[in-house]
Amino acid sequence: MLPKTKTRKRRKKVLVESDWRTYYGSNNHLNEDVERQGAEMFHREILHMCKTKGECSYLEAKEQFDREVLLTDDYYNGIIQIRLGGNAVKNIK
């Protein structure tokens, strides 16, 4: 993400690395388990490299539906929420 800092009347974009190295998700139960059991007990994997946020949102939701994460207790997901326009995914495939 590119936070914007004010410099007079113009905004300057500053590149800042995200917390992807330590981020496990926003699910409280997952974060409690990571804290209690230790990070080494969890496996994280990059499934897709995306060019846009829209592409990333679409592929994340698609993975969740394909894996039926809401129908089993094997996953921490309790909800799949996505708001996406068709223009965001036209270049996928």
50-66 pLDDT per residue, tens: 988 899 999 999 999 99
Whole-number percent of the chain with pLDDT over 70: 89
3-state helix, strand, coil in the chain (%, to 5): 35, 10, 60
* Domain locations in the chain as residue ranges: 1-44, 48-93
pTM: 0.73
**CA geometry: angle 1, 12, 17, nearest 5 deg:** 30
**What is the pLDDT confidence band of residue 36, given thresholds at 50, 70 and 90?**
very high
